Amino acid sequence: MREPTFLILTALANGPRHGYGIVREVADLSAGRVTLLAGTLYTALDRLAAEGLIAHDHDETVDGRLRRYYRLTGGGITALEAETARLRQLTTAAEARLRHLRSRPA
């Protein structure tokens, strides 16, 4: 799973969000490192919907602007859990090796 996909799924993990909400949440999650552009975001949303990982939740209109909310599906939650576990395993392994490296005498 690529980082923007992981971040989008993570952004939707605590509830449905609309497009701009996802963009802002992804920027927060990545500490400003990842800024999703509209074209990239909707390409990813189309793909995730086709893979059954997200679904349309509801629509709102705010100040005359349409906000379409998306939510994680059961498949999306499973995929996010699997990716989180994979990253955790890698992170744990990397941290263990770094600890070992630092503990070695220079």
Partner 1 sequence: MPTTEVLARRYRRLLRCYPRDWRRARAAEVIALLLDAAPAGRTRPTAREAVDLVRAGLRCRLGRPASRTVVAWAALATVICGLFAGALASRAAWETSRPQPDRAEAAAILSEVFPGHDLGDIDTPPALFVVYGHPLTLRNVRSVLLGDGGEYQESATGAGATGAPPVPAEQIVAVARLRLTDGGWRVYDPEVSGGVSCADKLCATPMEITDTTLVARRGDTILNASISSQTAVDATYLAVELHRAPPPAVVPAGVLGALLGAAAGWLVFGWASRRTEGRRVSGTAASILFGVTMVLWWLPVLLTAPYLFTHHLAEPHPAWHPPWEWLGQPTASLLFLVGAVCALLALGLAAGPRRDRSPVALVG
Cβ at position 56, least distance to partner 1 in Å: 5
Give me the long-range contacts of 57-60 (CB less than 8 A, separation at least 24). Answer: 57/16, 58/16, 60/18
Cβ at position 86, least distance to partner 1 in Å: 19
Nearer to partner 1, 67 or 84 (CB): 67
**Position among 1, 13, 29, 49 found at the interface with partner 1 (CB under 8 A):** 49
Nearer to partner 1, 66 or 93 (CB): 66
- Identity of residue 77: I
Nearer to partner 1, 13 or 19 (CB): 19
The count of other CB atoms within 10 Å of the CB of residue 39 is 8
CA dist 85 → 7, 81, 88, 89, 92 (Å):
15, 6, 5, 6, 10
Say if CB 54 and CB 79 are below 8 A apart.
no
Cβ at position 102, least distance to partner 1 in Å: 40
**Position among 28, 33, 38, 86 found at the interface with partner 1 (CB under 8 A):** 38
Cβ at position 17, least distance to partner 1 in Å: 11
